Amino acid sequence: MYILELLDISHWLHHIFTLDPDEPFKTTAKIVSMIGTVFTVGTTFVTKTYPWLRAKMDSRSVAKSLGATFFTPSGIERSIRYYIPPNCQTLDPAGSEESRRIHNVQGKLFDTLDNALSPSSR
């Protein structure tokens, strides 16, 4: 029974992936649907699955290194997944300077602090 089901599935897959040059419309429709499926699966992986998996792995790493005594695993995972790295800039964001005359330099806050506090910058 199991072997018959496998043969039936393989026949079905062979029918789907076989391109017939005598029927160009069906061939084109099959190719377009295959490309659409690959694009959809790839987009879903990049936008949904990879960030979720990355946050899961990072939260386990944080829980192991800090110990999850103060925070729940789901809280750690949520904090890591939705973390936005802070930025800094040389100009006041309130806009007291004339912005047309001064070039605003922006950078990542922690990289800027590391550069400012490094022994080579003293």
Question: Is residue 52 situated within a structural domain?
Answer: yes
pLDDT of residue 104: 57
pLDDT of residue 39: 95
pLDDT of residue 68: 66
Query: Quick one: tokens of 112?
Result: 């800027």
Q: Is the pTM of this model over 0.75?
A: no
pLDDT of residue 43: 94
Structural domain range at position 104: 86-122
- Each residue's pLDDT tens digit, 60-85: 888 887 766 777 878 888 887 788 88
Question: Is residue 15 situated within a structural domain?
Answer: no
How many domains does the chain divide into?
A: 2
DSSP string, 38-90: HHHHHHHIIIIIHHHHHHHHHHHHHHHHH-TTSS-HHHHHHHHHT----EEES
The answer on 98 and 75 residing in a single domain is no
The answer on 100 and 76 residing in a single domain is no
Those residues of the chain that have pLDDT short of 70 are 1-7, 13, 67-68, 92-93, 95-105, 121-122
